[in-house]
Amino acid sequence: MSKLDALKSRARALGLWAEAAPLGIEEAERTRFSAWLAAGRHAGMAYLARTREARLHPERAFPWAKSVLVLAAPYAFPEPPSPEGGLRVGRVARYAWTRDYHRALEGVLAELEHAARDLGLRAKGYVDYGPLLEGPLAAAAGHGWIGKNTLVLREGFGSYLLLAVLLTDAEAEPKAPAPPRCGTCTRCLSACPTGALDALGLDANRCISYWTIETRAPIPLSLWEAFGNWLFGCDDCQIACPWNRFAEKGGYWRGFSPEPELAHPDLWDFVRLSNRAFSQKYGDTAFARPGRAGMARNAIRLLWALGHGALEAYLEAAAADPSPTVRKAAAQGFFSLGRPRLLDDPDPGVRTFARGLWG
């Protein structure tokens, strides 16, 4: 057994799917990613453009590395029941039903890095935050193909996969790529409520996940209705995918534990908890990415879309929130009700934003 095979076996013993390939990105994928960036489809995720060269040429960014071991953790959880009490409406993307997957997978990577050292190998692991294109690397390693929803699709399972990578200085044999098996199906494209998916891939400027997770900016009013009942992220393109009918039969990695409080959070937490209390409750969850203010902003849009009876009380609480992000969302909410508010907010940014809504 080669040293790389030994690492694969160790990862599989920990319950993960593990495949390896030489480190590198195919020319077709480099062309696609460059065109995607040039078209501005990464929206406000400027770090993707800043790290373009490293992502396109990881063998240059990590000259010591010869191979990549790609780990895939399935997360096809059954939906937990909603807890009693609180304001629990809207939907949360499935991956966020468990505590932060980065931390869970980092523990595995640390163990594999230690095992690599014992084998005389150099190794370095990343979960999302490295300047790497995890999807194309996973496809090159043999996990599956990149679907029309831009996610890795594994035959016999689907796309509910979270990825981590371990760079090593071991040699790896190249593999023939998995044939794309989407065929003529375009269900994911049709299911996207904002039209963010098309033949060119994902346009983050219209993506629900981008707006509810990756940015603190106000969500454009033109998109409010299309976001429907999503509070955090969106799984519509995955739900529509026929391959995902296999996913729940495949289960989920034992390192994950879905929680009712994360699948069905109390929206009042986002305007009633202090930042410190929010961090104590949600600091090790996916909600920490947009933060308390971003989650309150999301909740305002959601309550408006649902025509929920708690909207006005929520807006009043948001209008007094210490965060300008939340108060801007409150101004949008009041505007949608035809009520000018926060036009004289003490923060000039909020004041200008609120006045701009009214032309």
DSSP string over 262-309:
HHS--TTHHHHS-HHHHHHHHTTSGGGTTHHHHHHHHHHHHHHHHT-T
Same domain, 220 and 312: yes
* DSSP per-residue string spanning 222-273: HHHTTTTTEEE---HHHHT-GGGGGHHHH-B-TT----HHHHS--TTHHHHS
Convert the pLDDT of each residue in 273-283 to its tens digit: 999 999 999 99
Q: Report angle CA 310, 315, 317 to the nearest 5 degrees.
A: 100
Q: Name the band, by pLDDT with cuts 50, 70 and 90, for residue 271.
A: very high
Q: Is the pLDDT at 249 greater than 90, yes or no?
A: no
Looking at the domain assignment, is residue 184 inside a domain?
Answer: no
Tokens of 88: 């629990």
**Which of 134, 150, 168 is the last residue in one of the domains?**
168
Range of the domain at 149: 3-78+100-168
> What percent of the chain clears pLDDT 90, i.e. is strictly above it?
96
Q: Is residue 176 part of a domain?
A: no
In a shared domain, residues 282 and 321: yes
Query: Is there a single domain that holds both residue 220 and residue 281?
Result: yes
More confident residue, 200 or 302: 302
Q: Is 128 a catalytic residue?
A: yes
- Whole-number Å distance between alpha carbons of 359 and 342: 14
Distance CA 76, CA 341 (A): 43
* Domain-embedded: residue 116: yes
In a domain, 215, yes or no: yes
Asked if the structure places residue 141 within a domain, the reply is yes
Model confidence at 158, pLDDT cuts 50, 70, 90, reads very high
- Same domain for 273 and 330? yes
Looking at the structure, tell me whether residues 29 and 65 fall in a common domain. Answer: yes
pLDDT digits (tens, 9 = 90+) for 182-217: 999 999 999 999 999 998 999 999 999 999 999 999
Q: Are residues 134 and 215 in the same domain?
A: no
Task: Looking at the structure, tell me whether residues 220 and 156 fall in a common domain.
Answer: no
198 within some domain = yes
Do residue 148 and residue 202 come from a single domain? no
Q: Which of 5, 100, 118, 128 is catalytic?
A: 128
The candidate with the shortest Cα–Cα distance to 53, out of 26, 27, 34, 29, is: 34
For the chain, the straight-line distance linking the first and the last C-alpha, in angstroms and rounded, comes to 69
Q: Which pLDDT band holds residue 251 (cuts at 50, 70, 90)?
A: confident
- What does the pLDDT read at residue 250? 83
Question: Residue range 23-31: average pLDDT?
Answer: 97
Are 57 and 17 found together in one domain? yes
162 in the same domain as 21: yes
Amino acid letter, residue 339: R
Domain assignment present for residue 29? The answer is: yes
Same domain? 136 vs 222: no
Question: Does 241 reside within a domain?
Answer: no
* Identity at 292, one-letter amino acid code: R
User: Hey, CA dihedral for 148, 149, 151, 152, is it positive or negative?
Assistant: negative
pLDDT in tens, 93-112: 999 999 999 999 999 999 99
Q: How many domains does the chain have?
A: 2
What pLDDT score does 1 carry? Answer: 84
Identify the pLDDT of residue 348. 98
> Do 111 and 212 fall within a single domain?
no
Confidence class for position 314, pLDDT limits 50, 70, 90: very high
**pLDDT surpasses 90 at 4:** yes
